[in-house]
């Protein structure tokens, strides 16, 4: 694999050679493993180095951290550590370990092991290869379980029959890798997967671990195939037992959601980060009642901001959709309706309701109104004699509404409006223009 390593971008290649030198001085056997090796063979870009050390992984990670002059985050219990060698280059370092599962679907008991033990505890053959970066055998591929052959034949294969019983999260991982690389889950693996589903093993896993794997699926570049496959294979009832079986309606909505997300990213990527995965999650759970969705969010321990966005979507009423589906609405009304919503909710609504006026109002909101600014500031209000406090907010809102609706255009007109409002104290009597 030396040739493949030498073809990597300079920055990563230099890093690997540097780690190799440090390992040599330290007399430590160090290997590249996991997804990095898989993607190297496939020729897919991967900037996350995964390193296994036969011996003290955290000790070796500390030496790397000193060499790169960066901080180290370590997890003593698992013998793992992470450093950001460069702002965009992450290195995960772990001690080679053995695992056994005292109870199905629970976390394994871990002890020190050799490289082969470490590779054997992994999910699939394609993720269970290593490349030595020792000076003597730099670039040697170590492939005990036929991972390279499976990569060439595009197969996802577990390493032993009870793999999905030991760790049912691998079911979601199998689907993710299968669809990401356009591979196939090979027949015996598929049979074992279905057996684990039949035994309801997914529901025995700690929900946060399932959440993490589900989010990884929803974060894939094109997650639709993964979602559909996972849904058909598992029923996704680990999200909620009330989730209906795979149906055409949600499937069509998912497709429209994917289009809207890519439309948004093409046009508004500079606005702010969009949690695409959350839009897909809201879509998947759209047939559930608000109480069931809340229960899922709580079970998965979503962050407060995530749960809030999901629940706001569930609270949207037909009246709201109806009022935004009319042809003629004042821009200030469109702004007032959409501004409190997150982009995730707005995109899902756009995917769901095809009414052409509704679509147009959302597009106008994103294109024009959402970025609209007024020219006056608190200094201006102060200079005009306004009393600092809640009135400021009301006045700003009145001026912005007037600007959105086109009744004021220039800074002078804005100031005139403020004077008028202060004279009549109209801003305290009426909410909007």
Min dist CB 9 to ligand ATP, Å, is 17
Question: How many angstroms separate the CA atoms of 191 and 250, rounded?
Answer: 27
427 is a site residue for ligand ATP (CB under 6 A):
no
- CA-closest candidate to residue 258, choices 347, 335, 183: 347
Question: How many angstroms separate the CA atoms of 138 and 73, rounded?
Answer: 27
Tell me the CA end-to-end span of the chain in Å, nearest whole number: 69
Min dist CB 205 to ligand ATP, Å, is 10
167 is a site residue for ligand ATP (CB under 6 A):
yes
Of all residues in this chain, which one has the CB nearest to ligand ATP in the complex? 35
Min dist CB 78 to ligand ATP, Å, is 12
Question: How many angstroms separate the CA atoms of 53 and 323, rounded?
Answer: 62
For ligand ATP, which stretch binds (CB under 6 A), given 23-31, 52-60, 168-176, 308-316? 168-176
> Which of helix, strand or coil describes residue 236?
coil
Structural tokens at position 17: 């050679």
Min dist CB 355 to ligand ATP, Å, is 38
Residue in 23, 29, 50, 261 binding ligand ATP, rule: CB under 6 A: 50
Question: How many angstroms separate the CA atoms of 156 and 126, rounded?
Answer: 7
Min dist CB 34 to ligand ATP, Å, is 3
Site pattern 123..152 for ligand ATP (x: CB under 6 A): x---x-------------------------
Query: By C-beta, is 20 or 125 nearer to ligand ATP?
Result: 125
Q: Report whether 418 contacts 378 (CB < 8 A).
A: no
Q: Applying CB under 6 A, what is the total number of residues that bind ligand ATP?
A: 10
**Helices 356-367 and 248-268 sit at what angle, rounded to 10 degrees?**
30
For ligand ATP, which stretch binds (CB under 6 A), given 24-32, 164-172, 191-199, 398-406? 164-172
Min dist CB 196 to ligand ATP, Å, is 13
Site pattern 89..128 for ligand ATP (x: CB under 6 A): ---------------------------------xx---x-
35 is a site residue for ligand ATP (CB under 6 A):
yes
Min dist CB 159 to ligand ATP, Å, is 9
> Which of helix, strand or coil describes residue 67?
helix
Question: How many angstroms separate the CA atoms of 226 and 289, rounded?
Answer: 25
Query: By C-beta, is 165 or 348 nearer to ligand ATP?
Result: 165
57 is a site residue for ligand ATP (CB under 6 A):
no
Site pattern 278..317 for ligand ATP (x: CB under 6 A): ----------------------------------------
Question: How many angstroms separate the CA atoms of 397 and 408, rounded?
Answer: 13
Give the contacts of 84 (CB within 8 A, at least 6 positions apart): 70, 71, 90, 91
% helix, strand, coil for the chain, step of 5: 55, 10, 30
80 is a site residue for ligand ATP (CB under 6 A):
no
169 is a site residue for ligand ATP (CB under 6 A):
yes
> Which of helix, strand or coil describes residue 417?
helix
54 is a site residue for ligand ATP (CB under 6 A):
no
Question: Residues 336-366, buried b or exposed e (16+ Cβ, 10 A)?
Answer: bbbeebbbbbbbbbbbbeeeeebeebbebbb
Residue in 20, 23, 31, 34 binding ligand ATP, rule: CB under 6 A: 34
Q: Calculate the alpha carbon distances from 294 to 24, 43, 430 in Å.
A: 53, 42, 36
> Which of helix, strand or coil describes residue 184?
strand
157 is a site residue for ligand ATP (CB under 6 A):
no
59 is a site residue for ligand ATP (CB under 6 A):
no
Query: By C-beta, is 212 or 247 nearer to ligand ATP?
Result: 212
Q: Which residues bind ligand ATP (CB under 6 A)?
A: 34-35, 50, 122-123, 127, 167, 169-170, 173
């Amino acid at each position: 694999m030396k040739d493949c390593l030498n073809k990597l971008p300079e920055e990563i290649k230099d890093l690997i050679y540097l780690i190799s030198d440090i390992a040599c001085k330290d007399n430590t056997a160090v290997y590249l493993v996991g997804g990095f090796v898989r993607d190297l063979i496939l020729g897919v870009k991967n900037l996350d180095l995964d390193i296994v050390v036969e011996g003290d992984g955290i000790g070796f990670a500390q030496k790397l951290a000193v060499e790169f002059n960066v901080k180290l985050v370590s997890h003593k219990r698992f013998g793992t550590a992470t450093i950001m060698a460069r702002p965009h280059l992450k290195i995960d370092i772990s001690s080679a370990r053995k695992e056994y599962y005292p109870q199905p679907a629970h976390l394994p008991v871990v002890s020190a092991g050799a490289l082969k033990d470490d590779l054997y505890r992994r999910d699939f053959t394609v993720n269970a290869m290593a490349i030595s970066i020792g000076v003597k055998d730099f670039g040697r591929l170590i492939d005990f379980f036929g991972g390279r052959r499976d990569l060439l034949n595009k197969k996802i294969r577990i390493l032993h029959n009870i793999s999905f019983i030991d760790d049912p999260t691998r079911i979601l991982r199998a689907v993710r890798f299968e669809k990401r690389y356009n591979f196939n889950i090979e027949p015996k693996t598929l049979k074992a997967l279905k057996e684990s589903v039949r035994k309801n093993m997914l529901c025995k896993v700690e929900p946060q671990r399932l959440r993490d794997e589900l989010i990884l699926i929803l974060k894939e570049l094109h997650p639709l195939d993964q979602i559909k496959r996972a849904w058909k294979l598992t029923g996704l009832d680990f999200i909620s037992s009330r989730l209906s079986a795979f149906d055409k309606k949600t499937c069509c909505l998912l497709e429209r959601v994917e289009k809207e997300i890519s439309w948004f990213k093409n046009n508004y990527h500079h606005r702010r980060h969009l949690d695409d995965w959350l839009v897909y999650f809201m879509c998947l759970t759209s047939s559930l009642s608000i109480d069931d969705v809340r229960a899922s969010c709580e079970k998965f321990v979503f962050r407060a901001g995530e749960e809030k966005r999901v629940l706001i979507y569930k609270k949207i009423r037909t009246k709201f959709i109806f009022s935004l589906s009319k042809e003629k609405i004042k821009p200030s009304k469109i702004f007032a309706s959409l501004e409190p919503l997150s982009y995730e909710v707005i995109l899902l609504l756009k995917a769901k309701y095809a009414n052409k006026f509704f679509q147009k109002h959302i597009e106008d909101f994103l294109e024009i109104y959402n970025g609209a600014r007024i020219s006056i500031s608190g200094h201006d209000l102060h200079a005009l004699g306004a009393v600092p406090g809640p009135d400021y907010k009301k006045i700003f809102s009145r001026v912005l509404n007037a600007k959105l609706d086109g009744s004021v255009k220039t800074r002078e007109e804005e100031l005139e409006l403020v004077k008028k409002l202060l004279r009549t104290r109209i801003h305290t009597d009426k909410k909007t223009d």
